[in-house]
Structure 1
């Protein structure tokens, strides 16, 4: 009986162990590859986009499991992220971790070129993305999780083109996951008290452990170390090809703009030369030719007015304008200026003390409301011997100026 009892107990113990081992982690999650990030504040679970950015995901997974082929000997065989901290926390922005030095400058002994997918963006809270120091190939182990949308971090612009990530000041970060559980944990971490300069939490927030969860046959067959080694050369080649294509595109656009500008300048020069023969010289040397008569009303000194202007060199080349159609004609349209609503009539002050070149002050004072005129401005009334941005010293200039109206005083 004792033998039967012990056998029965052993069978029951085995059954319990089997039942426990068969218990599925997060049964409500669909098939996929996940990272369970256990922190000192609670647990977050991120779905990893291994099908879209396999190299970046493979890098993270291999580090988490301690089998990354490029990690230095001191880290090999150890789960890299366990016991690290979130060393940089910025409320209403993101939380950043993955640096064994907790300084923001540490790495696992290597840097790699991340892959990007145009459908993965920093467009909401909970996006898991790679931190880097700029460019394509400065990724290592550091990652961050967004608290709010932050589109300036996207690698692709609004036109779907890969940004010039190698240029200084251009941010390009590879999104490789998204929180599906624990978004409130991210929020709790982002709200901790930090050093105002370094953004480091005054009380450390630990990453206790990162567990990789595989659900479904595809995720279970994802061998991070092998994927990283096999796919990294392809990513590097693809990035290089994109850069070469973009350089060729930029060069082609430059040529087209030069041709467009040359054609427009040649046509404009004919008109400017014609206007110049019809000008009346003022005492200062400024020359004026009326293109459209205005009203009899003239702004008073001290009035603010709205004017359209076009500034040309005497050879017909445009150097500045607030008319969007003229800027487009010359291939000088500036999207940032358009976004800032800086095209359209410009508000200017009619005053002998206005902060503008003397020739333009005189031109404004000579105009009636609604009048449009051509002005030939000798260099001493323009930028003189000093010149200005893009305007050489001792350069005569021409302007077409239209006074739209007087700004009503409130």
Structure 2
């Protein structure tokens, strides 16, 4: 597995030895593994031809999104002998309405390398054909930027806005950066040298945009594989800004239990049932992967225990069983913990300043402890006499 330089689109990986996927599976079986449980496949014949020719591995590019669901599909690709490139899209994240400040992007790319690698290793998936590429490692080069300008001279504002409608954050007054986003994602296919790109069904408009415009620059049209969008635990769209809509990869067992308990689970409502969708998209594929691994081990004369923890099959226990090795790896890695602290610093609540009380002494004769003024009898008598002299005379009728 490599974290270093991006692959050269003009070259192909050396075909020296076949992977276990080529040895044990036919081209048809590998294609079925690559495309199973997907909602839609565009250009599947491209992948079939590469598998049938048997001259090289198919190449896939995935623009990373930090959810567990697509990682299940990556395990299928790797098992099928696909050369998989995971793009840690730092430039894209900044362009999409500045989702992350530039000073945090570097730490977050490192953090997600830890996450993705650990998830795949916890599933016992071979990662020797997995490559991580940071977008800024090639998206700031002269050639890439010249192609971006060539594309900008070809694409209409309407097409770019339409392509990013489901992915780019929509605001009343959009920034120019959001209009660049679809074109750059299309160029990534060429510069990462892939045969197909993988993403959610919400990426479909960007994928068809790439199929239309890359040939206009003289580049090949790629295939596109899309998985279904899984609703959040609350029944709506899964969102990174709503922690209650998803299960975090490092979630504590008690938090998982609480979230599942509070999840939207209306009887008869299948489309918005986040728990049921998670079972279908994650728990069942993991169970199938374990079953296949057990069968392969038994066939090789190395049987393994199919029930390592004897845990319940309930959803909460199933999720916690899946997350357990990921949490253990995180707790054992000081570097990962330090990276997370830098990538996602805890927000510091502003301290409310208490208004200082300033003592103002009361005027003379006022206040709780004030004493009545002393009265001079002679002065009081003189004042009373003077009042009598000035009083109006009494009128007798």
Give the TM-score, by structure 1 length: 0.19
Task: Between the two structures, name the one with larger relative contact order (CA 8 Å, sep ≥ 6).
Answer: 2
From the two aligned structures, give the one with the greater strand fraction: 1
Give the TM-score, by structure 2 length: 0.20
Structure number with larger C-alpha Rg: 2
